[in-house]
Structure formats: C-alpha cells, structure tokens
C-alpha cells in the first residue's frame, strides 16, 4: 500500500501547474538555439524611417495652455465703433465758396460803379450849357481806366465791362462761371451808379444825356458796325498790353489801355455814342426807361470784343499756333498748348508733366 501511495504522490507533483514565469523559462529552455545567429540576414531599411542623426533630440515643447475662444463681433453690435459718414459734396462749385472769388466780384461791382459814374458825370452839361462833344468823356475814361487798373487790377483784372469779360471767356482765359458772375456784378454796379447820379441831378430832364443814342442819319446797322470797330480796337489793345507786360516787364501798363479807350471814344462818339460797354448802356436804360435801339449796345460791343480776343490770342499773340486754335475749338486745355509752344516741347510731354504734378499734389494733400 505504501508503494502505491508513493507512486500516486510522485505522479501528482509531476503534472502540477507552475507559475507563468516558470512556464516561460521552460518554454525558452525547450526551444532549440539557432546556430550562427550573426550570419542571419538583417531586415532591409525602410524608406520611411528617418535617417540616423548624431544630434541630440530636441527638448520637448511645453504644453500649450488652453486658449479661450474669442466670440465673433458683429458690425451691428452696439459696442463696435460706427462707420464715418460719407463725405457730403456741396452743390455749389468750389470757387463760389472761395473768399477770393467774392472779393474779386465785389471789386467788379465797385469798379463798374466808379467807371459809369465818371462817364455819366462827364456827359452832363453845366447850367445853361449845351451838351458837349466827346472831349470830356474821352479824357474822363482814360483817367478812370488807369486808376481802376491800379486799384483792382491785381484783384479781378479790373475788367468792368461785359464785352471785355466775354472776350476773356472766348479766349479761354476765364471759365464760364466766373464770366457770368462778373457780368452780373458789372450790370449791378452800372445800375447803382446810374441811380446815384439820377438822384443827384437837380433837373431830372437832363438825365436823357445818360442814355446812348444813335447819331443823326445813322441807322442801327451802321451803329452796330461802329460799336464793333470801337470795341475791337479797345479790347485788342488790352490783350496786347497784357501780353507784353507778362513777357517783358512786371509793371502794369494801364495808361496804354486808358489811351485806347480815349481813341475809341473819339472814333465813335458822333455815330453811336461809343458805348463799348453793355453795362454802361443798361444802367441808364433801367433808370430812365429808354430802350430804343438798346440791343445795338449789346450786339456791337460783345461781337467786337470776342473778335478781338480770339484774333489776338490765336493769330497775333507770341504763343499763337494752330494747335492752340484747335484746342480752343475742341474745348481742350489751352494752357497746355501755350506752355508747349513757349517751351518748344511736345504737347504730350507737357501733358505728362502736368499730370505728374497733379498726382504729386494729390499725394501731398492726402
């Protein structure tokens, strides 16, 4: 019995399960070792594996702190700043809001008032005298034109005459807005001068000498021709004297312009009264109500002044050229053509220089 017991006990201990480590050691020990392990082929290097680097690995980056998401702001939210209002453009041109422009307009009003007052006062006969000839008005207009040129020449040009203003407009020396405002100012000055002298007259019947009248045996067409001739000579002298002053000297030559007025009065006084100034004809007509042949003193002076300005500027002036005339007829910038002709440069070069100057001025302004 003891022999059988010992046999059973020995058989039980032989098949008793062991620990996992012991089993692994048993399995490893039971495997046959590979002969010549250094002769086994090594696996091929992978193209995706990074190349070996001798530099030490970079230090680990610090962990990022969780950022708080910023809520999107809306342009309509009350906290956002409001957009600036768009610039409002004034309905009036820029020059009509300029102080210098209205200063020149006032100079035209005062200058025309003085001119018409002088001419009307020189035409009034003394007590018991018959109306005189053209001598007094001729001398008076020379003196007053010379003095007005010195007073208002640097402010508005001392034009004091719608025919002169419209001749400058035809020659593209002033723009349309300035020309229209100047003509209105001149007519206002003539009306104020006529009204002031009419109130100063002791006998209102003598006010008939204020009005321009046609000479004896002179019809309206002949009077228009005389007015065209007188105004042409006067305005042509203004353009010539002004050009000579700009090219040769800075001294004003108002005396030459005044003498040109005197010569024109001597030419046409006995035929049409030598009005040469539509404002001078309008003022007395409004005061006295005498409108016979009034259109003569608008058509004649305006036509003569425009012809004089255009002919001098585009045919007789130092800077006259065919390109300048074409620029006038096509409403282009005459200053560009005049600059090109005086500097003997091409028109395209002058235009490019002017555009560059404008762009530079805009850049400085911004």
Do 223 and 248 lie in one domain? The reply is yes
Are residue 221 and residue 332 in the same domain, yes or no?
no
Domain annotation covers residue 338 = yes
What is the average per-residue pLDDT within 247-252? 65
Neighbours of 214 (CB within 10 A): 17
Residue 5, pLDDT score: 61
What pTM was computed for the model? 0.67
Same domain, 314 and 332: no
Of 78-82, 173-177, 302-306, least confident by mean pLDDT is: 78-82
SS3 letters across 105-145: HHHHHHHHHHHHHHHHHHHCCCCCCCCCCCHHHHHHHHHHH
Quote the pLDDT of residue 49. 47
pLDDT recorded at residue 77? 45
| Whether residues 279 and 339 fall in one domain | no
336 is a domain residue: yes
Axis-axis angle for helices 278-288, 176-200 (nearest 10): 40
DSSP state string for 266-317: HHHHHHH-----HHHHHHHHHHH---TTTTHHHHHHHHHHHHHHHHIIIIIS
Binning the chain into helix, strand and coil, the percentages to the nearest 5 are 65, 0, 35
Same domain, 296 and 333: no
Residue whose C-alpha is closest to residue 307's, from 253, 227, 212:
227
With bands split at pLDDT 50, 70 and 90, how would you rate the model's confidence at 2? Answer: low
Average pLDDT of the residues of the chain: 76
Give the structural domain span for 182.
Answer: 95-124+132-318
**Number of domains into which the chain is organized:** 2
Nearest to 309 by CA among 328, 331, 326: 328
CA distance to 68, 84, 117, 243, per residue, from 80 (Å): 21, 12, 66, 61
């Amino acid at each position: 019995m003891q022999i059988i017991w010992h046999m059973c006990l020995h058989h039980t201990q032989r098949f008793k399960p062991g620990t996992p480590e012991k089993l692994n050691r048993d399995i490893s020990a039971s495997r046959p070792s590979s002969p010549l392990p250094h002769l086994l082929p090594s696996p091929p290097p992978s193209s995706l594996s990074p190349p070996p680097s001798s530099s030490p690995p970079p230090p680990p980056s610090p962990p990022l702190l969780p950022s708080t998401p910023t809520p999107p702001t809306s342009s309509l939210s009350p906290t956002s700043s409001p957009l600036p209002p768009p610039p409002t453009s004034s309905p009036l041109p820029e020059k009509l809001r300029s102080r210098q422009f209205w200063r020149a307009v006032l100079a035209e009003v005062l200058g025309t008032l003085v001119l018409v007052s002088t001419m009307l006062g020189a035409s009034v006969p003394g007590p018991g005298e018959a109306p005189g000839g053209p001598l007094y008005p001729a001398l008076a207009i020379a003196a007053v034109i010379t003095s007005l040129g010195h007073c208002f020449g640097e402010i508005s040009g001392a034009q004091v005459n719608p025919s002169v203003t419209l001749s400058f407009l035809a020659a593209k020396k002033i723009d349309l807005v300035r020309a229209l405002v100047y003509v209105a100012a001149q007519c206002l000055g003539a009306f104020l001068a006529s009204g002031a002298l009419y109130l100063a007259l002791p006998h209102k019947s003598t006010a008939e000498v204020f009005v321009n009248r046609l000479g004896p045996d002179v019809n309206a067409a002949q009077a228009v021709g005389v007015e065209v001739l007188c105004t042409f000579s006067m305005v042509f002298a203004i353009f010539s004297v002004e050009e000579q002053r700009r090219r040769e000297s800075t001294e004003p030559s108002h005396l030459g312009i005044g003498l040109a007025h005197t010569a024109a009065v001597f030419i046409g006084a006995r035929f049409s009264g030598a009005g040469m100034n539509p404002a001078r004809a309008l003022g007395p007509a409004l005061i006295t109500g005498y409108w016979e042949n009034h259109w003569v003193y608008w058509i004649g002076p305006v036509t003569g002044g425009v012809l004089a300005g255009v002919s001098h500027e585009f045919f007789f002036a130092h800077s006259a050229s065919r390109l300048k005339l074409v620029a006038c007829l096509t409403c282009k910038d005459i200053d560009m053509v005049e600059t090109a002709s005086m500097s003997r440069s091409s028109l395209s070069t002058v235009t490019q220089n002017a555009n560059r100057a404008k762009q530079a001025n805009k850049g400085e302004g911004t």
